[in-house]
Amino acid sequence: MDGTKQSGLVKFKDNLFTVKDSLLGSFIRSGAPTSDRSRTAIMFNNFFLHVQTVKTHINTLRPSYTLGMGLIALFLMIIAFISGIFLMVYYNPSIENAFNSVKDINFVVSGGKLMRNVHKWSGEAMIIFVLFHMTRVFYTSSYLRGREFNWLIGIVLLVLTFLLNLTGYMLPWDQLSYWALVIVANIIAAPLEMTDIMGVTKYFDIGGISKELFLGGLVPGKEALNRVYLFHIMLLPAAILIILGVHFWRIRKDGGLTRPDKFDRKDTDTTYITPPDKTGDIFPTYKTYGLMELAKGKTPAVDNDVENTVLSWPNLLIAELAVMMFTLAAVVAYSFYIDAPLKELANPAIPENPAKAPWYFLGLQELVGYSAFMGGQGIPMAALLGLALIPFLDRESEHTGIWFSNKQGLTVTIISFIVGTVGLIGTLAFTIQYGWFRNWWPNIPQIVIVMINPGTIWLGFVMIWSLATIKITGSTRMGAIALFTIFLVSYIILTYTGTVLRGPNWDFFWSQSEWPIH
Amino acid sequence: MSSEAIGKKDLSRRDLLGLTAIGTATIAGLATLGGSLRLVKPNVHFEESTQFKIGKPENFPEGTVRVFDDKNCFIFSDSDGLYAVSSICTHLGCIVSLTEWGFQCPCHGSKYNPEGHVIGGPAPRSLEWFEINQDVDGSLVVDSAKTVAAGTKYIFT
Ligand code: HEM
Ligand code: FES
């Protein structure tokens, strides 16, 4: 009896003294990543790493291919999430306290201002980098070969990114928040414009009901702030996280990132990859081995595919770490020097003049200035629908993985860029110079203005231009390039117009220095 | 696939039961969700009353122009009587200001004539006119929930 007791305690003592090693071993089950075998094992034994493949194609690692845009968007999101949690420690979503709590964060809380800047700028930067990422995916035809669904998921992510920013700047309850809330609530109510024209508002007031559900009342107040808060800190973050999970899972299932059919290694590739290390472990030093594996693809890819891949650990992970460090450093540095704006406390009696949305919505504000319904709902919906349908209307997958497809693609991009720029600036200049229907015929029915305004005319032109491109080139991919290029150009030009060229009363000015003093 | 199956004659018992189960689950799910959404629509609005007193008629002699900032409303008085015009732009809800020729909205440049009729910009409707009543104590009450036809002017004593 005594003996067993003794040996039990001895066992315990041994376990206790080796707890450091055994604990560590249970975390890193495959041992230190010192050989290709353990580097492989760590990739599929680790929950966080197994989302990625054990091996990565060299094309994927070329910085000139992905430009790291999707990754930057991801890290910006993580930064925004973490900084957001810190802001929540002090922020209070009530109309009495919201503004003061944000002021506290800015001026009283240690590091509060920096944290708020980081949150604000990482969120806004997400918009830029998600758009850049979408641009890269588009111009490399990466929405094809099974990736159609992931492109759709991407569109949802784009919308969520905008919504997160939108709900975010409503929270401080300053002048910007309040008037943005008013304007958004009325954009939500914009179907009123249509039901009024049809004369059915009395029976079917879809605009009014949506607005009431959004505001939790008839005018923006405490219920509205509460709802916006619910969206910003819970519903939208949860949605973007889940959908981003699907996005990454699809990348895996779709066989990794796209790459050209004919892939040639370049000398420069060796600057960012380490060659396989087939020594040690199962590889005796006196023999050489070829790796055999099955890779997903059209043909059972044997030689090529396998040859042009390298281990994800360390090649991919080190690149990801670098992008993360770069993103974090850039956001913190920017936030150190540039402060997120905070206007005066919300004042329902007096809007600012001009009352401007943040820059990324000023393109829409310009369109809304022609018709609330078309600019706020019709045209954005049409643009999103057009983007969403791209992979289904263009199925020419032979260019997949090649920037701009071919020479013709580059030409179409450049021509569409020029046509888009000149055409849209022309349309805007005409409107600014001569006004629109109502300035010429003051009693024109509203329906005419809703249907025919500079925004809808431009939308029609873009559609015709894309169809014409398809007809002339005989290629749907060229039509897609025309459409997407003009979409980007339009977003940029409209945003610039709304940001720089519009002043008090939404009148035209060359720059802010010309605004009348009032 | 299942909708195809319904059309065909040889719908097997198993398919039928499966479809019924899925159909029931869908309807139950949607009904539950739909019913729950009713919760989102508030029954009570914790908002300021839409009625507000503006004072006695003698405070508004002919030619008066008063701005009630916190009520988003203008009060005018001319030879035809007293009237209340909303200052909320019908486009997207900014607050219009008074100019020599009418009303101007700062947000997207809508313009209205002195009657509140749209003369420029994107606004889809004219500015609203509000009902004015006289209380038992003689003071005037504007109700911004009750709109009246443009041009409705009141004479009080
Ligand atoms: C929150 C926003 C988003 C994040 C964080 C994100 C993240 C990523 C990442 C990290 C990749 C790996 C490749 C790379 O970095 O380029 C990727 C690939 C991809 N993304 Fe996104 N993305 C977002 C939004 C979008 C949008 C707006 C679209 C397009 C509408 C899109 C479509 C795609 C597609 C099709 C791929 C596969 C590309 C290929 O196979 O080469 N994503 N995404
Ligand atoms: S809100 Fe008045 S013009 Fe848009």
Nearest CA in chain B to A209: B41
CA of A173 to the centre of ligand 2 (A): 20
Provide the pLDDT for residue A50.
83
CA of A239 to the centre of ligand 1 (A): 16
The rounded distance, in Å, linking the Cα atoms of A32 and A42 is: 9
In a domain, A286, yes or no: no
* A&B contacts, CB < 8 Å: 94
The complex scores an ipTM of: 0.84
Establish how many alpha carbons lie within 13 A of residue A339's alpha carbon, considering only the half-sphere containing its beta carbon: 10
DSSP secondary structure of A197-248: HHT-TTT--HHHHHHHHHHTSSSSSHHHHHHHHHIIIIIHHHHHHHHHHHHH
In a domain, A135, yes or no: no
CA of A65 to the centre of ligand 1 (A): 13
User: Cα dihedral angle (A396, A402, A407, A412), rounded to 10 degrees?
Assistant: 60
Cα A172 versus chain centre, distance: 23
Q: What is the DSSP letter of A280?
A: B
Provide the pLDDT for residue A306.
61
How many angstroms separate the CA of residue B101 from the nearest CA in chain A?
A: 15
CA of B87 to the centre of ligand 2 (A): 11
Work out which ligand 1 atom sits closest to the CA atom of A152: 30
Q: Which ligand is nearest to the CA of B96?
A: 2
Which residue numbers of B have CB closer than 8 Å to A's CBs? 40-42, 45-47, 69-70, 72, 91-95, 104-109, 118-122, 124-125
User: Which of B94, B97, B104 to substitute to test the interface with A, most A CBs within 10 Å?
Assistant: B94
Number of Cβ atoms within 10 Å of the Cβ of A411: 14
CATH number of B51-148: 2.102.10.10
Q: What is the pLDDT of residues A187-234, one digit of tens each?
A: 899 888 888 888 888 888 888 889 999 998 888 889 999 999 999 999
Work out which ligand 2 atom sits closest to the CA atom of B109: 3
How many angstroms separate the CA of residue A351 from the nearest CA in chain B?
A: 6
A505 with B106: Cβ contact below 8 A: yes
For A114, residues 6+ apart whose C-beta sits below 8 A from its C-beta are A332, A335, A336
Cα A274 versus chain centre, distance: 31
- Check: CB of residue A473 under 8 Å from CB of residue A408: yes
Cα A94 versus chain centre, distance: 29
Q: Which of A216, A368, A438 sits opposite B92 (nearest CB)?
A: A368
| Helical H segments across A370-514, by residue range | 372-373, 379-393, 407-434, 437-440, 446-451, 454-473, 476-496
How many angstroms separate the CA of residue B31 from the nearest CA in chain A?
A: 19
- What would the two tokens of residue A257 be? 């990132």
Looking at chain A from residue 385 to 424, which residues have their Cβ under 8 Å from any Cβ of chain B? none
Structural element, H or E, at residue A250: helix A236-253
In a domain, A422, yes or no: yes
User: Which of B73, B107, B144, B147 to substitute to test the interface with A, most A CBs within 10 Å?
Assistant: B107
For ligand 2, atom 4, the nearest C-alpha belongs to B108
The rounded distance, in Å, linking the Cα atoms of A510 and A500 is: 7
3-state secondary structure A159-211: HHHHHHHHHHCCCCCEHHHHHHHHHHHHHHCCHHHHHHHHCCCCCCCHHHHHH
- Check: CB of residue A186 under 8 Å from CB of residue B94: no
Provide the pLDDT for residue A302.
39
A369 interaction partners in chain B (CB closer than 8 Å): 108-109, 121-122
**Domain count of the fold of chain A:** 1
Residues of chain A with pLDDT under 50: 297-305
Q: Which of B47, B92, B121 sits opposite A187 (nearest CB)?
A: B92
Work out which ligand 2 atom sits closest to the CA atom of B121: 3
In a domain, A64, yes or no: no
Q: Which amino acid is at A193?
A: E
Work out which ligand 2 atom sits closest to the CA atom of B110: 3
Provide the pLDDT for residue A300.
43
Structural element, H or E, at residue A116: helix A112-139
Q: What is the pLDDT of residues B103-141, one digit of tens each?
A: 999 888 899 999 999 988 889 889 999 999 888 888 899
Peptide bond into A354 cis (omega under 30): yes
Provide the pLDDT for residue A278.
56
Provide the pLDDT for residue A518.
55
Q: Which of A223, A349, A506 sits opposite B42 (nearest CB)?
A: A223
Q: Which ligand is nearest to the CA of A123?
A: 1
- Check: CB of residue A215 under 8 Å from CB of residue A226: no
In a domain, A415, yes or no: yes
Domain ranges of chain B: 51-148
Nearest CA in chain B to A355: B107
Q: Which of A218, A370, A507 sits opposite B122 (nearest CB)?
A: A370
Look up the domain containing A382 and give its range: 357-518
A386 lines ligand 1 (CB under 6 A): no
A368 touches chain B (CB under 8 A): yes
Instruction: List strand residue ranges (DSSP E) for A68-114, in order.
Output: none
For A230, residues 6+ apart whose C-beta sits below 8 A from its C-beta are none
Provide the pLDDT for residue B7.
53
- What would the two tokens of residue A161 be? 């990114």
In a domain, A18, yes or no: no
A158 touches chain B (CB under 8 A): no
DSSP secondary structure of B18-70: HHHHHHHHHHHHHHHHHHHHGGGS-SS-----SEEEEE-GGGS-TT-EEEEGG
A137 lines ligand 1 (CB under 6 A): yes
In a domain, A164, yes or no: no
The rounded distance, in Å, linking the Cα atoms of A31 and A44 is: 13
For ligand 2, atom 3, the nearest C-alpha belongs to B108
In a domain, A88, yes or no: no
Q: Which of B45, B46, B94 sits opposite A179 (nearest CB)?
A: B94
For A489, residues 6+ apart whose C-beta sits below 8 A from its C-beta are A416, A417, A420, A421, A424
Work out which ligand 2 atom sits closest to the CA atom of A369: 4
Work out which ligand 2 atom sits closest to the CA atom of A186: 1
Q: Decide: residue A183, CB within 10 A, 0-12 exposed, 13-18 middle, 19+ buried.
A: buried
Q: Decide: residue A512, CB within 10 A, 0-12 exposed, 13-18 middle, 19+ buried.
A: exposed
Structural element, H or E, at residue A41: helix A36-45
Q: Which of A349, A368, A438 sits opposite B95 (nearest CB)?
A: A349
**What value, to the nearest 5°, has the Cα angle with vertex A239 and ends A234 and A243?**
155
User: Which of B44, B46, B66, B108 to substitute to test the interface with A, most A CBs within 10 Å?
Assistant: B108
Provide the pLDDT for residue A51.
84
The rounded distance, in Å, linking the Cα atoms of B108 and A502 is: 10
Long-range contacts, stretch A273-280, CB < 8 angstroms, 24+ apart: A273/A58, A273/A61, A273/A310, A273/A315, A274/A310, A274/A314, A274/A315, A275/A310, A276/A36, A276/A310, A276/A311, A277/A35, A277/A36, A278/A36, A279/A35, A280/A34, A280/A35, A280/A37
CA distances from A375 to A279, A440, A460, B137, B143 (A): 63, 21, 14, 48, 32
